[in-house]
Amino acid sequence: MKNVIALFLLTGGLAYPQDQQPAAKAAEKFDFKARFAWYAKRTYTNPWGHANLIGEVTVDDFAFGDVKRWGTGLSGWGKSLAPVYGQRVVDNTTEFLLGALVGDDARYRPSEKRGIVRRGLHATVDAFTARAKSGNTRPAYSRIIAVTTGILIANQWRSKPETGYTLSRALTFGVTDKIQGDLLQEFTPDLKHMGNKIWRKIRRDH
């Protein structure tokens, strides 16, 4: 379902030499106020996040045959979008509250390594790890619980709750969504650099 995104990441990683890595986040104080600002941005005030969610739901419906619900028009499409959007709100809210309670800092920190494989592995692992108050890395308990909670609650909002294979697919989707988000944060600077380089070349040629 995410072959196009994977292709962009692979192309960017291979085309752009990995000699300039984004700096890791500074160890600024991540208190309740900072946590809330981070939560509000990723949940409600991030236009790209909303556009990406709409795109994912649309592609998922086409890929798995759920597009038949669209026979009722926009209301049918809304039946697909509403539970997924609600799931994201529940997911992020649960992660925010549990993170504050247990001291998880699950913000993504770009890799300082070189090479697409090592950077990709870092992003994949980082999707489910967090930094504790002590500074040590540990499993992101708040995020793992939040993903499961969001999916199970949102499933009850569907006209026909998913079970068995379809529920397992939803759980997988929730996991890969976190991994995809970290991969995009890791490789976006490379893709921007490559895009700017191509744009400058096009302008020179014309």
DSSP states along 35-94: HHHHHHHHHTS-HHHHHHHHHHHHHHHHHTTGGGGGGGTHHHHHHHHHHHHHHHHHHHHH
Residue 108 lies in a domain: yes
Predicted local distance difference test score (pLDDT) of residue 40:
92
What are the beta bridge partners of residue 138?
130
Residue 201 lies in a domain: no
User: The domain containing residue 51 runs over which residues?
Assistant: 3-16+29-193
pLDDT tens digits for range 18-49: 333 333 444 567 888 999 999 999 888 887 77
Mean pLDDT across 115-125? 91
Residue 203 lies in a domain: no
Residue 84 lies in a domain: yes
Q: Which residue has the tokens 């697409």?
A: 116
Examine the pLDDT at 69 and tell me if it is beyond 70. Answer: no
Residue 94 lies in a domain: yes
State the pTM of this model. Answer: 0.67
At 78, list the tokens: 């809304």
Number of domains making up the chain: 1
Examine the pLDDT at 154 and tell me if it is beyond 50. Answer: yes
Which are the contacts of 53, defined by CB distance < 8 A and separation ≥ 6? 81, 84, 85, 88
Which has the closest alpha carbon to 105: 174, 25, 48?
Answer: 25
CB-CB contact of 140 with 104 (8 Å): yes
Residue 24 lies in a domain: no
Examine the pLDDT at 76 and tell me if it is beyond 80. Answer: no
Listed range (87-91, 167-171, 197-201) with the worst mean pLDDT: 167-171
CB-CB contact of 183 with 9 (8 Å): yes
Q: What is the mean pLDDT of the chain?
A: 76
Residue 21 lies in a domain: no
Residue 38 lies in a domain: yes
User: Can you list the pairs that 28-31 forms with residues at least 24 positions away whose Cβ atoms lie under 8 Å?
Assistant: 30/105, 30/107
Predicted local distance difference test score (pLDDT) of residue 3:
43
In the chain the first and final C-alpha atoms are separated, in Å, by 36
Which are the contacts of 102, defined by CB distance < 8 A and separation ≥ 6? 141, 142
